[in-house]
Amino acid sequence: MAEKIKLITAGKLDKVGLNKIGKSFLITVGGAAIGFVADLLNVIDFGGYQNLAIVALPFIANVLYKWLGTYESK
């Protein structure tokens, strides 16, 4: 039997959408926190690349989350 697809129109969110936004936010905060703690403890010095690191660290955290985790793809 074919799986029914629920269409969510622009300007609306359902529970699944809110969960995805929440997960993305937590991953972003986690990536930023890792960068902050690493800089605070002098583990890494971003120097002139600090603004780039602020943008890249959440992306890297999300890639690691997907690469190391298990998820379904349809």
In a domain, 40, yes or no: yes
On whether residue 54 sits in a domain, the answer given is: yes
Q: Classify residue 53: in a domain, yes or no.
A: yes
In DSSP notation, 21-73 reads HHHHHHHHHHHHHHHHHHHHTTS---GGGHHHHHHHHHHHHHHHHHHHS----
pTM comes to 0.63
Query: Considering the domain boundaries, does residue 64 fall inside one?
Result: yes
| CA gap 50, 15 in Å, rounded | 35
- The answer to whether residue 74 sits within a structural domain is no
Question: How many domains is the chain partitioned into structurally?
Answer: 1
- The domain in which residue 31 lies consists of 15-68
Of 56, 2, 6, 19, nearest to 34 (Cα)?
Answer: 56
Summarize pLDDT for 15-58 with one digit per residue, the tens: 877 888 888 888 888 888 888 888 889 888 888 888 788 778 88
pLDDT at 59: 82
